[in-house]
Structure 1
Amino acid sequence: MKKRFSLLLVILLAASMILAACGDGKDNGDEGSGDSGKTEQYLRVNIKTEPFSLHPGLANDSTSGSVLRNTFEGLTRIGLNGEPENAMAEDIQVSEDGTVYTFTLRDAKWSNGDPVIAQDFEYAWKWALDPANESQYAYQLYYLKNGAAANEGKVSLDEVGVKAIDEKTLEVTLEQPTPYFLELTAFYTYLPVNSKIAEANPDWYKNAGEDYVSNGPFKMASWEHRTKIELVKNDQYWDKDNVKLEKIDMHMIDDENTELSMFQKGELDWAGAPFSALPTDAIPQLKKDGDLNIKPIAGVYWYKFNTEVEPFNNVKIRKAFSYAINRQAITDNILQAGQIPAMAAVPPSMFQENEDGYYKDNNLEEAKKLLQEGLEELGYKDVSELPTITISYNTSEAHQKIAQAIQDMWRKNLGVETELENEEWAVYIEKLHNGDFMIGRMGWLGDFNDPINFLELFREKDGGNNDTRWENAEFKQLLLDSQEERDPDVRMQMLKQAEEIFIDEMPVAPIYFYTNAWLQPDNLKDVAISGLGDVQLKWAYFE
């Protein structure tokens, strides 16, 4: 996921796993009523900031995803073993050619008691594809027959390959066979929406209340904007007997040091990724104390260039700025949690050779050469004539430190002065989507386990998450052709060729591949984090 992500986490992690007994031994306490000695099933985490949107069709970041994955449920869900399993779908049949899926829904209810019906999925998917709704993640539904054409206004939404045959049967027709489609149906853009509620109240998702209904293991009890979201166990959930937590508080504390302090005082039950982040200055001591958990994740942190704004409309200038970054210094001296310097776009877990990347880190000789050539092509005598270069980032200690380090590198290595600009997350991401930036930091965590997910962001110039406004016809065609290729080895080679084009044109400057770093109490069990870094609390409990 901007991933999304999104998008907000500084030290991100993963490996298909279930987080269990690791941490500082802080116990949640036996706080049951009377003398039963029963451990209270009440989890307190920090999601750092207000979610971008809690509408499944509008969400496009990891913070929103952390809430939606625990309050909603799709046709499938990523299980404890990291593989997709049946969720709202009780049975799934696939045609011989792999293009038609027939989902039979189980008996399930929304949190208000309404039945979950096939029309709720059809409504939600078509709503996200409707260009009037401006869903940043509409392209995730392009796998559906006519999905892209409908989103581009070329055909009617009625022609999209999703149809409720009856209340229990959903028929989905794809453009071409998609081996990872059952992973996609677990992703939040594919979640259902209560069509009856949404049609009656288009603003149903903006506040807690009787109209904010969900179909997952938890439901929203309250939403104090910019302060806290309170979730409680959903007594209407079909699998409620396997849900042990009774309450979850999701705080919005935009300061890593405060979060760590609250954890150490027993006021939070988790500190760090994937919900938030740990202060980078605390990492060495936490590692020394043996309290820190670190795991790799399929995610990349990069700087996006606005390729429609001078001087970053010039590929040589983009390359010069990227080559003049010392990534190893950033991972060793700022982050300190095992991150891998990134000179590629796709994580090494998908393309192993990307641990080395396409070019030399901190290649100052080539950077200076390219800078001079780029300046001449743009008609500048020297760097003093460049427009003011601004590095934008959302508020975070680590983002700030990285930006300051890169600002210093560009000053020393290229003689370029830059300004720093930070904004609160919701404001920041809106500015990026509107093209109101020159260089903007962002992270991307995989939405599903395939390299195309890191490349398809940039397939269309006006694609939902392509803030760079870059487009390349050959790159685009390789991605399209790869989706029709049946030979998996040939397909991977096509995606590798697409990545080579992407890196050669440098619309982003990759900085590092993520790890997650976090603290948790010993008695918190079965917090499930996939290899993509998304978190589920359905099975979590305090021992």
Structure 2
Amino acid sequence: HQAISVAEGNIASALFEGLVTQPARGDTEILPGVASSWTVNAKKSKFVFSLNPNAVWSDGTPIDANTFVESYKRILTPRFAAQNAVLFYDILNAEEFHKGEITDFSKVGVSAISNYELEIELNRSVPYFLQKLKHFAWFPVPIHEIQANGGLYSISNSWASNPNLVSNGPYVLASWQRNLRISIVKNKRYWDAEKVSVASIEFHLIENTQSQYRAFQAGQIDVTEEIPSELKSANLPNARFDPVLSTAYLVLNTESSPLNSSRARIALSQAIDRKLLIKAVLKSGTPANRFTPKSMPGYPLRSDLANPALVTLAEIELDALRANGPLTMIVSNRDVSIDVAEALQNMWEAKLGIDVRIQNMEFRTFLTRLDEGDYDIGYIAWTGDYAHAYTFLDVLRSDGLHNRSRWKHSGYDNLLDKSLTQHDSKSRLETLYKAESLLMEEMPIIPISWKTKDYFLSSRVQNWPASLVLLRTYKYVHLQN
């Protein structure tokens, strides 16, 4: 429940399983997970899930409806401080419980109507709700095991570090060498174990893309997470470039001067040569003129988007940009992030005459700095949690947990709220389109590129998962020979 990154989600998806699952490839199909079937009312606001009694924890403990009730209560409990709790806000009174406005969880729209029947009631019609359930935040957790290791709502509970980790997915933990590798083996108690072909998987912690490539070339790993930027245009035989709903962007601290000025933010954006940046540094992707990727199904309804008028800063505004010394740009210590930062540093110096100081750091430290507002500019990416524009635009809501820009705009929030009351898909997307136009006029973030998922894949690996939102299920993967 504390996992937030795609990498953490990839491992969680091997060890755990939610109510529904992802197919081997694609995103539209909804497959049974712990729930063998489900029904939904005409308004698409109330779901009843029938749980598979053969779905048990790896220690043999049954998974019943109350397991999900307690798991969802845990992630929504305020003191547990789970960032992904916002994904549950579609549920009746979930937001109010998470924000401490109500304390009685029985008022939240999650209930066990029998041992193996779970009911989820929403605030409103959410046509894509089943898609959201694929996200790892919705996975159940072994309540009995967590309680045996400490407080159920304690962040410091070490149950997940237990070498005999109890899970319910296709695989179970075999060993965990911190900062080195995680080994998992087939879960013999998994309800669909006969579909699981690969007996064991190892996840290696290799942050440097060149090191990943060397390990791949040496046959030490079968799949990399990325391709070194200098190799992306080399037409190498095992290179893969999958479409993905992911945007690389700059987040700007709008509470600090001079970036509290929208004109300054727009000027920074317009000084960026995105085509050159992609050609010379990133080597893949498409220049982004908005936050929501162009590959988002059904969005936008028009190809145009209101772009801010060209901004030419007056000398007094340029002086304000330089007044407090260099702007601080923070990035994670991945090589491509550093390269991007250096390219942007040069563009801004050449076109605006401003100085930018770059600081790179370990990813967790980087996120902490963003959360604490200890930065001016940060380079980051957002990958959709599900295939709908709302998963991007909700990030910039005034009180959003991931709104690290600290930008607040009631008009923007009102448009997001309005979209949630519209049952017609076309009307909902029109409203979100207006919200995004407003977002790009204010520019609290600067979209850089719409990404692809670039990686090397060994020819012996068959049926490797592909997903627009980077959801993975390993049960369908098999090895040739």
| 2:365 corresponds to 1:427 | yes
| Equivalent residue, structure 1, for 2:154 | none
**Could you tell me which amino acid in structure 2 is paired with residue 277 of structure 1?**
E
| 2:375 corresponds to 1:437 | yes
291 and 245 in structure 1: CA distance in 2 versus 1, 3 angstrom threshold: closer
| Equivalent residue, structure 1, for 2:314 | 372
Give SS of 1:119's match: helix
1:464-498: per-residue Cα shift (whole Å, max 9, x none)?
21111112111111111111111111111000001
| Equivalent residue, structure 2, for 1:22 | none
Alpha-carbon distance between aligned partners in 1 of 2:302 and 2:257, rounded to the nearest angstrom: 30
**Could you tell me which amino acid in structure 1 is paired with residue 340 of structure 2?**
I
| Greater relative contact order, per chain length (Cα 8 Å cut-off, separation 6+) | 1
Aligned ranges for residues 256-335 of structure 1 at < 5 Å?
A: 256-271=209-224, 276-285=225-234, 287=235, 289-335=236-282
Alpha-carbon distance between aligned partners in 2 of 1:383 and 1:95, rounded to the nearest angstrom: 55
Give SS of 1:132's match: helix
**Could you tell me which amino acid in structure 2 is paired with residue 244 of structure 1?**
S
**Could you tell me which amino acid in structure 2 is paired with residue 182 of structure 1?**
L
1:8-28: per-residue Cα shift (whole Å, max 9, x none)?
xxxxxxxxxxxxxxxxxxxxx
355 and 267 in structure 1: CA distance in 2 versus 1, 3 angstrom threshold: farther
| Equivalent residue, structure 2, for 1:66 | 10
Q: Is the 8 A contact 1:269 1:521 kept in 2?
A: yes
Give SS of 1:74's match: coil
| Equivalent residue, structure 2, for 1:39 | none
How far the C-alpha of 1:533 sits from its partner, in A, is 2.3
| Equivalent residue, structure 2, for 1:528 | 465
1:207 is aligned, of 144, 150, 161, to: 161
| Equivalent residue, structure 1, for 2:89 | 142
Alpha-carbon distance between aligned partners in 2 of 1:393 and 1:452, rounded to the nearest angstrom: 26
| Equivalent residue, structure 1, for 2:438 | 501
Moved over 3 A (4+): 352-360, 380-384
Alpha-carbon distance between aligned partners in 2 of 1:388 and 1:426, rounded to the nearest angstrom: 24
Alpha-carbon distance between aligned partners in 1 of 2:468 and 2:226, rounded to the nearest angstrom: 18
How far the C-alpha of 1:404 sits from its partner, in A, is 0.4
**Could you tell me which amino acid in structure 2 is paired with residue 60 of structure 1?**
I
Q: Among the aligned pairs, what percent are the same residue? A: 28
**Could you tell me which amino acid in structure 1 is paired with residue 347 of structure 2?**
M
The two structures have a TM-score, normalised by structure 2, of 0.93
| Equivalent residue, structure 2, for 1:236 | 189
How far the C-alpha of 1:355 sits from its partner, in A, is 7.3
Aligned ranges for residues 73-92 of structure 1 at < 5 Å?
A: 73-80=17-24, 81-82=26-27, 83-92=29-38
How far the C-alpha of 1:456 sits from its partner, in A, is 0.7
**Could you tell me which amino acid in structure 2 is paired with residue 195 of structure 1?**
I
1:335-374: per-residue Cα shift (whole Å, max 9, x none)?
222x1101101111123578775438xx9xx34x1x338x
Q: Is the 8 A contact 1:105 1:168 kept in 2?
A: yes
Q: Is the 8 A contact 1:218 1:234 kept in 2?
A: yes
| 2:178 corresponds to 1:225 | yes
Give SS of 1:359's match: coil
| Equivalent residue, structure 2, for 1:411 | 349
Alpha-carbon distance between aligned partners in 1 of 2:23 and 2:209, rounded to the nearest angstrom: 30
Q: Is the 8 A contact 2:242 2:466 kept in 1?
A: no
| 2:95 corresponds to 1:158 | no
Q: Is the 8 A contact 1:269 1:520 kept in 2?
A: yes
Q: 446-455 vs 517-526, which deviates more?
A: 517-526
1:38-94: per-residue Cα shift (whole Å, max 9, x none)?
xxxxxxxxxxxxxxxxxxx22111111111111111100111353221111012011
Aligned ranges for residues 158-197 of structure 1 at < 5 Å?
A: 158-197=106-145
Give SS of 1:529's match: coil
Alpha-carbon distance between aligned partners in 2 of 1:85 and 1:295, rounded to the nearest angstrom: 22
Alpha-carbon distance between aligned partners in 1 of 2:433 and 2:204, rounded to the nearest angstrom: 41
1:381-404: per-residue Cα shift (whole Å, max 9, x none)?
454413430111111111111000
Alpha-carbon distance between aligned partners in 2 of 1:313 and 1:265, rounded to the nearest angstrom: 50
Give SS of 1:153's match: coil
Stretches of structure 2 that go unaligned for 5 or more consecutive residues are: 152-156
1:209-246: per-residue Cα shift (whole Å, max 9, x none)?
23x21111011112111111111111111000000111
How far the C-alpha of 1:278 sits from its partner, in A, is 1.4
**Could you tell me which amino acid in structure 2 is paired with residue 71 of structure 1?**
L
1:389 is aligned, of 301, 310, 327, to: 327
Alpha-carbon distance between aligned partners in 1 of 2:397 and 2:148, rounded to the nearest angstrom: 36
**Could you tell me which amino acid in structure 2 is paired with residue 372 of structure 1?**
A
**Could you tell me which amino acid in structure 1 is paired with residue 440 of structure 2?**
I
How far the C-alpha of 1:199 sits from its partner, in A, is 2.4
Alpha-carbon distance between aligned partners in 2 of 1:383 and 1:498, rounded to the nearest angstrom: 28
330 and 357 in structure 1: CA distance in 2 versus 1, 3 angstrom threshold: farther
2:65 is aligned, of 108, 118, 122, to: 118
| Equivalent residue, structure 1, for 2:74 | 127
Give SS of 1:346's match: coil
384 and 407 in structure 1: CA distance in 2 versus 1, 3 angstrom threshold: same
Alpha-carbon distance between aligned partners in 2 of 1:460 and 1:75, rounded to the nearest angstrom: 31
**Could you tell me which amino acid in structure 2 is paired with residue 216 of structure 1?**
G
The two structures have a TM-score, normalised by structure 1, of 0.83
1:155-194: per-residue Cα shift (whole Å, max 9, x none)?
1233211112232111111000110111111111111111
Q: Is the 8 A contact 1:393 1:423 kept in 2?
A: yes
Aligned ranges for residues 36-55 of structure 1 at < 5 Å?
A: none
Give SS of 2:465's match: strand
Aligned ranges for residues 454-469 of structure 1 at < 5 Å?
A: 454-461=392-399, 463-469=400-406
Question: Over the residues paired in the alignment, what is the CA RMSD in angstroms?
Answer: 1.8
Alpha-carbon distance between aligned partners in 2 of 1:220 and 1:354, rounded to the nearest angstrom: 47
How far the C-alpha of 1:206 sits from its partner, in A, is 4.1
| Equivalent residue, structure 2, for 1:7 | none
**Could you tell me which amino acid in structure 2 is paired with residue 249 of structure 1?**
E
Give SS of 2:293's match: coil
**Could you tell me which amino acid in structure 1 is paired with residue 163 of structure 2?**
G
Q: Is the 8 A contact 2:389 2:432 kept in 1?
A: yes
| Equivalent residue, structure 1, for 2:417 | 480
How far the C-alpha of 1:205 sits from its partner, in A, is 4.2
Q: Is the 8 A contact 1:137 1:465 kept in 2?
A: no
354 and 281 in structure 1: CA distance in 2 versus 1, 3 angstrom threshold: farther
How far the C-alpha of 1:460 sits from its partner, in A, is 3.1
